[in-house]
Copies of this chain bind each other. A is one copy, B any other.
Amino acid sequence: MKPVTLKDLAKQLGLSVTTVSKALKGYPDVSEKTRELVKSLADELNYVPNSFAVGLRKQQSKTIGVIIPAMVHYFFSNILDAILKEAENRDYMVIIMQSNEDYELEKKQVDLLLNKGVDGMLISLSNHTRDFKHLQKIIDYEIPLVLFDKIAKLVDCSKVIIDDRKAAYDAVSYLIKKGYKRIAHFRGDLNPQNSIDRFLGYKKALLDHNIEFDPSLVYLCNSNSDFSEGYSNAEKLMQDHGDNVDALFTVNDLLAIGAINYFNKKNIKIPEQIALIGFSNWFMASVVTPSLSSIEQNAYNMGTKAVEILFNEIDAKLNDTAIEHQKITIDTELVLRNSC
């Protein structure tokens, strides 16, 4: 039989997990009535605190699991860099898995990490993850979980993200203030939240500045073959709109760099004929000609914050103290270079 969890108690009582946890530990900020209620249900269902049941201190694996969609990605290698350094400081080991944007694989990897007995997990979801039972399983097992970058809003755990909508809004507003009016957008896949949010930020910036949103200026890009898609979509953009487009905002830097290559080849002047802003501020953005303006996502900070929260939750679990899940938004900034 699956052990009764804090979550089971919380559900039956219609309370939050945090309240139930605090109640069981006798925290004074939970009313005595609630404390009694929680304790009697815990007795009834034979709830055993995780740390009692398994002598947790000894059972610590000193290992955390990380699942990312892709390894060969400047953004994720910066995040991993931060995670590895922080884990190193704490003598923790890190098992890294890549889901290759495959939901089934991600699900399997969660099971592998659960079986391995990791002390906590950091996950950035694949673009095709639309069902979150595997994440719920982690929570049911009371394994600390922090989602980062590609998250699921509905899952009850800590999250570290950037404000994609605001970052896109800032970039497009900057272009508008510089006098650009016909601004195209190379958007990402339809599913992932950050691709949706960047599109919505683009659209809102247009509307807030009284520029008509023209859907024919939006090109859908599949996120896997970025560079050549940037090139071919730039070609399409010129065929479709020619002189009737003056700026381009792309969902990532690779698409922008592909577009730059096309414009350079066709002697279309950047930023005179078309201005560009990318997203992610890959190292490459600073070395292409012209250098590319882009949004710095501060991946290293995101990795550091995510792993810090995870270790706090692991410590809290060890010390049997209640935790509040956090939702942290990492600041982004628009880095201006020669492309706009």
Neighbouring B residues of A260 by C-beta, 8 Å = 287
Neighbouring B residues of A139 by C-beta, 8 Å = none
Residue A223, interface by CB 8 Å: no
Least CB distance from A261 to B in Å reads: 6
Residue A301, interface by CB 8 Å: no
Least CB distance from A32 to B in Å reads: 46
Q: Indicate if the CB atoms of B94 and A96 lie closer than 8 Å.
A: yes
Q: Indicate if the CB atoms of A93 and B84 lie closer than 8 Å.
A: no
Q: Indicate if the CB atoms of A264 and B284 lie closer than 8 Å.
A: no
A105-B81 contact given A72-B74, A287-B284, A288-B287, CB 8 Å threshold? no
Q: Indicate if the CB atoms of B63 and A91 lie closer than 8 Å.
A: no
Mark A71-91 against chain B: 1 for CB-CB distance below 8 A, else 0. 111100110110011001001
Neighbouring B residues of A85 by C-beta, 8 Å = 98, 100
Neighbouring B residues of A73 by C-beta, 8 Å = 77
Residue A330, interface by CB 8 Å: no
Interface residues of A (CB under 8 A from B): 63, 70-74, 77-78, 80-81, 84-85, 88, 91, 93-98, 100, 105, 112-113, 116, 227, 257, 260-261, 264, 283-284, 287-289
- The 4 lowest CB-CB distance pairs between A and B, nearest first, are A289-B289, A71-B81, A72-B77, A96-B96
With A96-B96, A257-B287, A288-B289 already in contact, 17 other A-B pairs whose C-beta atoms are closer than 8 Å: A63-B116, A71-B77, A72-B74, A72-B77, A73-B77, A80-B96, A84-B97, A88-B97, A91-B112, A93-B97, A93-B113, A94-B95, A95-B95, A95-B96, A261-B287, A284-B287, A289-B289
